[in-house]
Structure formats: structure tokens, C-alpha cells
Amino acid sequence: MNIKLSKKSISDIKADITVEFLTSDKLSDHTETKILNQAGFKAEQDSICFLHERGILACGIDKKNNDNIRSAAASAIKALKSSNYKSVKLDVISNSSLAGLIEGIVLGGYEFNDYKSKPEEITLKNISLCINTLDFKKVQNTFNEALIVANATCFARDIVNTAPQEMHPQSMVYLAQLLAADNSLECEILQEKDLEKEKMGAMLAVGRASIHGSALIHLSYKPANPKKIISLVGKGLTYDSGGLSLKQPASMVTMKMDKAGACAVLGMIKAASELKLDVEIHGFIGAVENMVGGDAYKPDDVLVSRSGTTIEVRNTDAEGRLVLADVLSYAQDKVNADYIFDFATLTGACMVALGQYTTGIMGHSSKLKDSLCKASSKSGELTGSLPFNRHLKKLLKSEIADISNVSSKPYGGAITAGLFLDKFIKEENKEKWLHFDIAGSAYTETPWDCNVYGGTGAGVRLISNFLKNID
């Protein structure tokens, strides 16, 4: 779809249909109030009503804010894609709501049809946004930024949605190299021989049974005179069978999404480089496939991580934290960053705690967590903070190694996973680090807000907003 800004009055723009956002208190002022009332339209949030004979699509919103506009625009675009209209026009309410409008259109209209033999052709081609009463220069800047972030989110979604026979660790290496070439990024790849030299025993163990070699990907975006240096670490389990602690068949379906943390990091660095942010960014990805085979790592194994910490394996399905342990260790030695953020579909327990729409944030710095919560509110992504405490930390005790890879009790699973990662964060970096558990927010089989079936690109909008406004 072609989305463009227009300085013309909306009455002067030629289009097949006009989209109008209406609140319930303004419904009585509409020129077509009688027809809308007859149709039963009450202007409730995300409700829609086609007045085909008038060339109008009415969309209900509770309030004219960014979040409501985003959600309503997503509902509108889904309805329009099911119609035979070729062009649409709508008024931009304000510059502050434009980002939400763009995200609603792009993300709500997203489809992943790579495996459809005959994908449905979409008739809708052109979307005109009327901004004749607004400052064109400011609006254009907001428009361009929103489009970059939305497209980067779709980029992350595409990788998440790619089937595991195509997107394995070495495919992810190739994809990272392409992104580096297209966006003028530095790219360093550590293959298994390099991982052995780095003594990454935990990461290597997880991928041992796969026919696809594990790899650590390091992408760098380095502008001149950056304000800050940020390390972003992503869990890249291209597929997770659970290993010898095999998942139930129903739980194994959708496990292509276990690479969503890595996909988010790729989307974040893509957006930052295209926005030309004055922040140096290092993306570290542990690309691994957790499979079953004669060489698979086992419960009762004791692994030696890169940091020298020994880990007792009690469940091979708690593999992401093993990969991240080594990647976090490497990232801290490689880059002296101001902030270190890791992203992982780490625990189903996070969904139990916060629901499937919300990303769990964990760490030691209340100030940093507060900054990210503010960025989440502005970006439209949902986050919730989960608190560390010393009593839960005791549940990771091992009688034969330095730490166990799972808790001895089934409670507080998201937090104990975060506390496991905390073991591998250097003391001087504790206040710089945050862990983001995106197990619930990274993938959906039920559309909500601007998210459609499949990968959501969770984290890309959140971190892009944080980086744009960093001090």
C-alpha cells in the first residue's frame, strides 16, 4: 500500500472512501447521524460502520489519543482490505497522533503470505493523509520516523514468522550479513570453532544435537560522537523442541517464535540506523537450534559457561538462559556499554504473571526501569515490572555446581529465570542491565490492537522510542 501526505483539503482529495474517527460524544454532530444510528453504530472503541452509499467508513474511538487511533486505524485497514475499494483518504487529527495512525495502518495491515500458493490480492492501493491544517515539515518528520519504525517492526515479524526449516542459525547469520550490507553496519560472526575458543560451553551444549551449527552474531551501528553506547542481546532459538526434556506436541507448535528476541534486536538496529540516531548500538545474537539427537545435552549434565560459572542442567527446555549466559558474558567483555538490554521469549511463567500482551521487565535499577516504562507508554507497547528478591534467588542453588538452570520450586518462574541471567552480569554492570521477557508479547494467534496473527515485533517500537529520547 502506498501511504502519502497531502496538503490539500480532504474535500479536494480524490478517493473511493473516507475514514472518519468518531467519539460517542461527537456522534450526534455528524452529518450522517441518522443513518449511523439506524446501523446501530455507537462509536465504541474499534467499532466500524460502512456507509457505502456515502463513501464513509466510520471508526469508533474512546478518546483521540495515540493508542486509540492506532487500534482504530488497525481495525479500519483490516476492514478496507476485505473490501474492493482502491483508495482511501482521512484527516490527520494532530501531529501527536500521526505515529499511532501510521503504525495502525502498517502493522494492522501486515500479512505474512510467503507460504500461500495463491495469496489473496488486495484491492486497496493508495492511502492519502490530509494534513492541510498542520505544519508540513513537522508532520513529514513524524511521518518518516513512524514509517521507519513500523517497517522495522514488520521486518522483525517476517523473521519470526519464517518457518524453521528455512530460518535456522546459519540462515540468521546470512540475514544479519544482508542487513549489515544494506544499512552500513559492521558485522562479526563467531561460528562454532570461534565459540569453542571463547569457551562458550553453555551455548554450544544447547545446539549440539542440531545439524545446523550455532553462531554468535555481532552487529554494530556506530555514528560519529554518540550520546550513549547500548548493547542489545537477543535470544535466537530458531527452533526449540525442548531437547531431551521434550515439549508436549501442542506446546511445540509455534516454537519458531523462540527466536523473537533476536528478531527484535535486528529490527531495533535496523530502525536506529535508518533513523540515523546519535546512539552507538551493538546487537549480540545467540543463534542456536535446540534439537533431540544422540549428541543432545542431557539433564544432569554440568556445563562450564564462558564466565567460568558451572551450571547444573535439570531441564533442557530451559535452554534460552544458557545461551544468553554466554552471550551476555561475551557482550560485556566486548563492549563497555552504558546500558545492556536482553530480549528473550524466556518463560511461560511471564504470561501467567502479566498476561499474554505484556512484556516483563526485570533488573536492579528502578530509575532505568521507570525510563523504559515511560517509553513503553509512549510507544504503545505494554510492559510490567517483576521484582527480584533474595528468597527466590535461593531456589537456583545447586548441590553439585555453582547454579542450577531451573528453580527447585515452580513459583516465580519468570523472576527466577531473570535471576539466573543476573548471575552472569558483572557487578559493575548490575545497574546498567535490564532483562525483557517477551514470551507473551512476541507472538499471538488472536489479533489484538495493531497485531495480527503471528509475530508482533515486540520490543522494536519500545526501544526505538527509548533510543530517540535518550539523554
3-state SS, 72-111, equals HHHHHHHHHHCCCCCEEEEECCCHHHHHHHHHHHHHHCCC
Helix or strand (DSSP H, E) at 8: none
Helix or strand (DSSP H, E) at 60: strand 56-60
Q: What is the CATH superfamily name and number for domain 163-468?
A: Zn peptidases (3.40.630.10)
* Amino acid at position 84, single letter: N
Cell of 23: 467519539
d(CA 17, CA 76): 12
* Amino acid at position 48, single letter: I
> Cell 552480569, residue?
425
H-state helical runs in 109-168: 136-161
CB atoms within 10 A of CB 167: 24
d(CA 99, CA 468): 14
Q: What is the CATH superfamily name and number for domain 2-131?
A: Leucine Aminopeptidase, subunit E, domain 1 (3.40.220.10)
Residue 356 class from Cβ within 10 Å (0-12 exposed, 13-18 middle, 19+ buried)? middle
d(CA 107, CA 94): 20
Residue 346, CA distances (Å) to 62, 237, 241, 420, 471 in order: 35, 10, 14, 11, 30
d(CA 125, CA 148): 19
CB atoms within 10 A of CB 355: 12
What is the pLDDT at residue 26?
A: 87
Helix or strand (DSSP H, E) at 33: helix 33-38
Q: In the beta sheet, which residues pair with residue 3?
A: 127
Catalytic residue ranges: 247, 321
Residues in CB range of 73: below 8 A, 6 or more apart = 59, 100, 101, 103, 104, 105, 108, 450
* Amino acid at position 232, single letter: L
Cell of 330: 561475551
d(CA 309, CA 303): 8
CB atoms within 10 A of CB 141: 13
Q: Are the beta carbons of 382 and 357 closer than 8 angstroms?
A: yes
Exposure string over 378-417, b if 16+ CB within 10 A, otherwise e: bbbbbbbebebeeebbebbebeebbbbbbbeeeebbbbbb
Q: Are the beta carbons of 238 and 171 closer than 8 angstroms?
A: yes
Residues in CB range of 120: below 8 A, 6 or more apart = none
Domain ranges across the chain: 2-131, 163-468
Q: Are the beta carbons of 418 and 326 closer than 8 angstroms?
A: no
Longest CA–CA span in the chain (Å) reads 76
Q: In the beta sheet, which residues pair with residue 316?
A: none
pLDDT in single tens digits along all 471 residues of the chain:
899 999 999 999 999 999 999 999 989 889 999 999 999 999 999 999 999 999 999 999 999 899 999 999 999 999 999 999 999 999 998 899 999 999 999 999 999 999 999 998 999 999 999 998 889 999 999 999 999 999 999 999 999 999 999 999 999 999 999 999 999 999 999 999 999 999 999 999 999 999 999 999 999 999 999 999 999 999 999 999 999 999 999 999 999 999 999 999 999 999 999 999 999 999 999 999 999 999 999 999 999 999 999 999 999 999 999 999 999 999 999 999 999 999 999 999 999 999 999 999 999 999 999 999 999 999 999 999 999 999 999 999 999 999 999 999 999 999 999 999 999 999 999 999 999 999 999 999 999 999 999 999 999 999 999 999 998
Q: Are the beta carbons of 325 and 202 closer than 8 angstroms?
A: yes
Backbone φ and ψ of 292, nearest 5°: -110, 135
What one-character DSSP code corresponds to residue 448? B
